[in-house]
Amino acid sequence: MDQIIHNARFAQWLSDNGIKEKAYYYWLHKFRKQAYAQMHLPSTEVSDESDISFADVSIPDRRTTGIPKVTEETTVEAIRPVAVIKNADMTIALTNEVSDSLLSHILRELSHA
């Protein structure tokens, strides 16, 4: 029903403005084509002259720089958990900031482990 009303109003507008329907669609097509051509779409082409540069990054060896190794004990102490869940394979430290949904998900996964 809405389409019929739309078509009737559209036909009335065309008639009131002295525009033929074919001319309307012709110009609509031209304007859309021109607007599309003016859009700044990101290019998906890879150019030969690329601005990508690479840098060597050296990562120091822990053994020679004295950086302490992160262990379960140091991680748990740094977090200051209110609860710790330990399993044979893992340790999970929980803080007061844990959301109910995350805690439910963790407990559900632990029950299947």
User: Do 95 and 69 meet the contact criterion of CB atoms below 8 Å apart?
Assistant: no
The tokens of 88 are what? 């044979």
pLDDT at residue 22, as a whole number: 92
User: In sequence order, what are the residues at sequence separation of 6 or more whose Cβ sits closer than 8 angstroms to the Cβ of residue 75?
Assistant: 93
| pLDDT tens digit sequence for 15-67 | 898 989 999 999 999 999 888 888 866 665 655 566 667 777 777 776 666 66
Tokens of 82: 């209110």
pLDDT for residue 113: 64
Q: What is the pLDDT of residues 62-92, one digit of tens each?
A: 666 666 666 666 555 566 788 888 877 778 8
